[in-house]
Structures are given as C-alpha cells and as structure tokens.
A and B are shown apart, each in its own frame.
Chain A
Amino acid sequence: MVRASRNSTNLECAHAKRSMSAITFTARLVIATQAALCCTTIFSPAFSAQSATAGTAAPLELKRPASVRPWQRYKVDSQGSSWPQTRWSNFSNLANAGVSPPAHAAPAFNLPVEGDAERGRTLAYDRARGGSCVVCHVMGKTTPAQPGNVGPDLSTVGATRDDQSLFNYVYDPRIYNANSIMPPWGAYGVYRLDEVRDIVAFLKTLKEPYAIADKTENPNTRPAPVESRDNLDPTENPAMFGLDSGREVFMRKGANGKSCASCHAAPETAFKTWAARMPRYEPRLQRVLGVEEFITRHGRATTADEMLMQSNDNIAMSIYLHNLANGAAISPELSGAGARAALANGQSLMKRKVGQLNMACVDCHTRERHANKWVRGQYLVESKGTTAHFPTWRTSRGDIWDIRKRFQWCNVSVRADELPPDAKQYGDIELALAALNKGEKINSPGIRH
C-alpha cells in the first residue's frame, strides 16, 4: 500500500511501480496531468484518396495556399510558450538573399578603447541580448553556469589581443574571418557602439586562464545528451494523444460524406512506408510536397475537408501517417530533374547566412562547422539523425511541432523572419534533410527538448 502526498506546485506526473495500489492512484495522476497537457493541443475533422503506392497521381487541390494567409508569426505555442515578435526584414532570410549588409569596418574609434568593464561583463553574461557571449565562450573566473564552446575560450583574450582587434572583432568578426559563425554584434545593431566599447573594456580584463574543474560545467567535458525516453509510451510522450486524434480524423466523414477510410480501407498496409518516402517533388506544384502539405491538398480534393498546415487536425493526421511508417527507412525519391534541382537548392539554402545573428543551418548543424558543441547548456546536433521523429513533442515548448514549425523556430532563433509552412524553400530544405537522413528509421511521434 502506498499513499502519496504531492505538492501541487511541483506536480508534473508520477508513477510508482511494484505496488498495484500505487499504480492505480499514480496512473490516474499521470493521465490527468498528461490530459491537461494535451487537451488544448490536439483535437480532431476527414478526407479520402486513392492508393498510397508510388506512381499513382493522388488527387490534390493545387491552387490555394496550404497554410494561413496572410502568414503571421505565432505569438504563443498551444501551452503558452512565447515567440519573439520582432520583424527582421532588413536581414536576409530563406526567401530573400542579399538583404543583410556585407561585412564592413567599424566606424572610427579612439584608442585605447575605454568603456565600463562592469557593464561590459553584464552584457557579455546576459542571456537576453542575442544569447550573449557566454553562449559560445568561456570568459574567465566569473563565467556564469554552463558556458558554451562554439567559440574559443576567451579567459586570456585581454593578454593576447590589442584594443583595435578586440573592437573590430566584436563589431564585425567577418573583417578577420569571412565565414565566422559569430554574429556581427555591432554592425548588425545587436549592441550599440558604446556597448561594444564596454564589452571590449571587459575583455581587456580577461588575463588569467580558467580551468573549469566541474566535468558537467566544462563544455569540453560535458557529456552529450542521450535521448533514451520511450517516445511511444503515452505516459512519457503527450504527442501520443495526437496518434489517437489522427486515427479519428482518418475515420471521420468530411464535408462530402467521405472519409479517408472510404478509399484507404487498410491504412496499416497502405501507409507502411508512405511517410518514409516523403517529402517528394510534385510536378503539378513544381515544388517539394511534404506529408503535412499533402494532407491539406489531398483532403481538399477528396473529402472536402480543410486541414490547414499546422492545424490540430493536420498535425494529428501527420502523426498518424508517420506512425504507420514507423520502422521504415527514410528513402526520398531523388531522381528526376525537378527533385535534383530542389535538392540542390535545399543544400544551398542550408548554407545561406540569415537573420540578425547571421547564421546558416550548416554553421550549427554540421560537424565540419560547429555541430556537437554547446551553446550555453544546449547541444548542437548534426542534421543527420534529427528528422525521423517528427512530428515531435517539444518538452521545452509544451507543444507538438511538425518539421516546418521547427524550421520556423530555427529561423526566428537566429532572428530571421520565418516563412509560411508551405514555403517552397522549406520544402527544398526538407528534401535535403531527407536525403541526408536516408536510411534512418521513422520513429514518430518523437519527444525532444
């Protein structure tokens, strides 16, 4: 017999094992909590089609956008996590290249650089301003918790660099290193000139090496996170509720009285590998079509149901269809001129520097650049091995995201304006990622930070 008293301020969910009485009670707690987490996220509408085998041209509505227009950035996720609302139209994004200003020298400044070192320290350590310096650098004995290691340790930078190079580097590092991942803090206006001076004044004080003894604090010894949760356990992964909703949407009659099941009587067989072969180049749209956009367009053409991308119904269907392909190896169709051009464009977009922080996908997510390093306490993963779990529950956001929403968030994180989920550019990148992840086994819905 086990009795539990729990502090509601700490309550997430609980399961005690090895005691039947405990399971009954705690299971209820788990369910209640998880239901609360999910009830606003996913609910069910319907659609139908022909065969899901390759080669047949599935009916698709081709004219209208597949997502909300005019597109407006999310204000909050379903559980209230906020999205930044700043517009960054004066910087390049995935739709517009060449908007961001090129590298340029700092305006004339006096030497030696004088500023308020204490204010500089605060700026360097403050998370609120573009993540701050500590996101990528260890910076002397007063370095706050969990520094990153994308950039070099700056603990002795004040002893090795002169004022001029320090100022220029903070203002626009591209003066010295054209392909630097470091944002042009001054040139792109994250910090004002007086703030750059303060930061330089602080950097000049850094003269003593700093060895971080704590293994988990030191970014060079901190163990990489390992994902070991059972993503198909509904007590672990709230996105599993989406699977049930998706099945219901599949069975539900649309506006014309038909359901998906009207044409796809045996979804378990019909969709065994379908999602693993997506996204694919669609000649009728002349661009790449992912699972979610397919759901919208195929639904319109068959059951007359409207399931806009990133709507609850659409995500639920996406989870259901991905889940039916669990275990199937990602195998996108890459032959054909259309697919090849899309793939090449996707790969090229992943190298484009975007946003006020001036970063490209490859800067953070390839091992040739900075993958497998730390930005503060977060680990930068490689693009390979990171797509097979979508749609995925994001524990840090309390929401289920399809892969396009993940792209949108990446864009916003580097302070670039995101695109609508059905943007051609996202399709091209999704295809490039599928090519990179070829052979990985679909395992959806996922659960990630």
Chain B
Amino acid sequence: MHQIRRRLLKAIGGVIPLAAAAGAGLLRAGNALATTWNKTGFEAKAAADALKSLGVTGAQPSKDIMLTTPDIAENGAQVPVTVTSKLPNTQSISIIVEKNPFPLSSTYDFSSGADGYVSTKLKLGQTSNVIAVVKADGKFFTATKEVKVTIGGCGG
C-alpha cells in the first residue's frame, strides 16, 4: 500500500496549482464530481440549516453508525474522522462540525452498493460536536461525538 501511495504521489506530485485552487476554494469539487452541489448546505452558518439543506427531518441516532474521532484532538487543523455505516443501503454520509463557521464539511454519495465508509481529516475551529448524518434506504440517521480541540500551554 505504501509503495502504491508513493508512486501515486510521485505521479501526481506536480499538480500543485490544483492544490492551491482547492485551498482557495476555487476548485469546486462538487461541480465536477458530485451530482449536485449543495450550495445552501455548504454555505449554511448553522448546523440546523445545514441539516435542513440535506433534507433531514426527524433523524434518529443509530448504533449502526460508527463515528470514530479522537476524544481530544491535538491539533484542530487536522482532526481524523472516520464514519462507518452498517445500515443497509447506505446512500450518503455527511459530516457536520457543529461549531465551525460553515458546519457542513462534506457529503459523500454512495451507489452501486459501495460500503458506507469514509475516512477524512477535518478542520475544527474549536471544541465541537461532530455529527455524522447517514441516509440509508431513504431515511436519515445520526451519530454524534464531541471532539475537544487542544488548548495550548505556554508556547506549543
């Protein structure tokens, strides 16, 4: 796996402008890659509005969603978050960071029977609840976990 990744990295290592574009928010991955870009959702400034944009009503917490995060993130700039959905017919996974300026971080659409699994790194501005929203068989389910962001000592 390691070797494959290294080759991949080498192969695409030159695509720095792409990264710059993505960092600046110019590269709307959604436009190119997702069926629909959830503009309202990604621009929503409150978690409730983000949920509404996803069409979530009356979502139930589900034990079939495993939301894995550190209890305390050493660095809010890159918090590893993994969502595994064991719900049958998982159609999408969205991740919401309640206290971020733009709470909806990402949505992943699954089709062709893909396993409901996402592993990513998110930016957390401060200690916050992270909510995984899973759409399965037309219904919404959630899992929530608080992630504390480390507050530094004297220096760092």
* Chain A contacts to B: CB under 8 angstroms: 1-19, 21-22, 25, 27-29, 31-36, 39, 127, 130-131, 135, 145-146, 148, 216, 222-223, 225, 232-235, 244, 357, 374-378, 395-398, 409-410, 412-414, 449
Chain A residues, CB < 8 A from B49 = none
Are the CB atoms of B75 and A16 closer together than 8 Å?
A: no
Are the CB atoms of B12 and A31 closer together than 8 Å?
A: yes
A2 and B22 contact, Cβ closer than 8 Å, known pairs A234-B5, A376-B152, A397-B156: no
Q: Which residue of A lies closest to B119 (CB)?
A: A15
A4 and B108 contact, Cβ closer than 8 Å, known pairs A10-B97, A35-B13, A377-B151: yes
A395 and B104 contact, Cβ closer than 8 Å, known pairs A14-B118, A18-B117, A28-B12: no
Are the CB atoms of A35 and B155 closer together than 8 Å?
A: no
Are the CB atoms of A31 and B106 closer together than 8 Å?
A: no
Q: Give the A-B pair count, Cβ closer than 8 A.
A: 207
- Alpha-carbon distance between A369 and B48 when the two chains are bound, in angstroms: 48
Query: What's the least CB distance linking B97 to chain A, in Å?
Result: 7
Are the CB atoms of B110 and A4 closer together than 8 Å?
A: no
- Known contacts A5-B34, A5-B42, A223-B71; 18 additional CB pairs below 8 A are A1-B110, A1-B112, A7-B105, A8-B27, A9-B102, A10-B97, A12-B78, A15-B119, A15-B120, A17-B119, A22-B108, A29-B29, A36-B23, A234-B6, A374-B153, A375-B153, A377-B153, A396-B74
Are the CB atoms of B148 and A33 closer together than 8 Å?
A: no
**Choice from B24, B75, B127 contacting A449 with Cβ under 8 Å:** B75
Chain B residues, CB < 8 A from A413 = 154-156
Q: Which residue of B lies closest to A232 (CB)?
A: B2
Chain A residues, CB < 8 A from B105 = 6-7, 10
- Alpha-carbon distance between A35 and B100 when the two chains are bound, in angstroms: 25
- Alpha-carbon distance between A145 and B149 when the two chains are bound, in angstroms: 10
- Alpha-carbon distance between A223 and B150 when the two chains are bound, in angstroms: 13
Are the CB atoms of A4 and B107 closer together than 8 Å?
A: yes
Chain B residues, CB < 8 A from A4 = 29, 33-34, 106-109
Query: What's the least CB distance linking A7 to chain B, in Å?
Result: 5
Are the CB atoms of A29 and B106 closer together than 8 Å?
A: no
- Alpha-carbon distance between A130 and B152 when the two chains are bound, in angstroms: 11
Q: Which residue of B lies closest to A83 (CB)?
A: B155
**Choice from B20, B119, B127 contacting A36 with Cβ under 8 Å:** B20
Are the CB atoms of A32 and B15 closer together than 8 Å?
A: yes
- Alpha-carbon distance between A233 and B6 when the two chains are bound, in angstroms: 8
B 62-86 contacts with A by CB, 8 A: 71-72, 74-75, 77-78
8 inter-chain pairs at a CB distance below 8 angstroms, sorted by A residue, are A9-B25, A9-B102, A28-B15, A31-B12, A135-B153, A234-B5, A235-B5, A377-B150
C-beta contact mask, B91-121 vs A, less than 8 Å → 1, else 0?
0000001001110111111111011011111
Are the CB atoms of A376 and B109 closer together than 8 Å?
A: no
Query: What's the least CB distance linking B18 to chain A, in Å?
Result: 5
Are the CB atoms of B5 and A10 closer together than 8 Å?
A: no
Whether B52 is near chain A, meaning CB under 8 Å from some CB there, is no
Are the CB atoms of B23 and A5 closer together than 8 Å?
A: no
**Choice from B5, B78, B106 contacting A6 with Cβ under 8 Å:** B106
Are the CB atoms of A225 and B72 closer together than 8 Å?
A: yes
Are the CB atoms of A5 and B30 closer together than 8 Å?
A: yes
Residue with the greatest number of chain B CB neighbours at <10 A, chosen from A2, A7, A232 = A7
Are the CB atoms of B102 and A7 closer together than 8 Å?
A: yes
Whether B57 is near chain A, meaning CB under 8 Å from some CB there, is no
- Alpha-carbon distance between A244 and B108 when the two chains are bound, in angstroms: 33
Q: Which residue of B lies closest to A410 (CB)?
A: B155
Query: What's the least CB distance linking B53 to chain A, in Å?
Result: 11
Are the CB atoms of B72 and A8 closer together than 8 Å?
A: no
Are the CB atoms of A11 and B22 closer together than 8 Å?
A: yes
Chain B residues, CB < 8 A from A19 = 110, 114-115, 117
Query: What's the least CB distance linking A417 to chain B, in Å?
Result: 14
C-beta contact mask, B1-41 vs A, less than 8 Å → 1, else 0?
01001101110110110111011110111100111011000
B 114-135 contacts with A by CB, 8 A: 114-115, 117-123, 127
Chain A residues, CB < 8 A from B110 = 1-2, 19
Are the CB atoms of A8 and B153 closer together than 8 Å?
A: no
A35 and B16 contact, Cβ closer than 8 Å, known pairs A12-B123, A376-B151, A413-B154: yes
- Alpha-carbon distance between A29 and B34 when the two chains are bound, in angstroms: 14
- Alpha-carbon distance between A412 and B2 when the two chains are bound, in angstroms: 37
Are the CB atoms of B156 and A12 closer together than 8 Å?
A: no
Chain B residues, CB < 8 A from A135 = 153-154
- Alpha-carbon distance between A283 and B152 when the two chains are bound, in angstroms: 41
Query: What's the least CB distance linking A38 to chain B, in Å?
Result: 9
- Alpha-carbon distance between A15 and B82 when the two chains are bound, in angstroms: 10
Are the CB atoms of A8 and B118 closer together than 8 Å?
A: no
- Alpha-carbon distance between A148 and B29 when the two chains are bound, in angstroms: 42
Q: Which residue of A lies closest to B100 (CB)?
A: A10
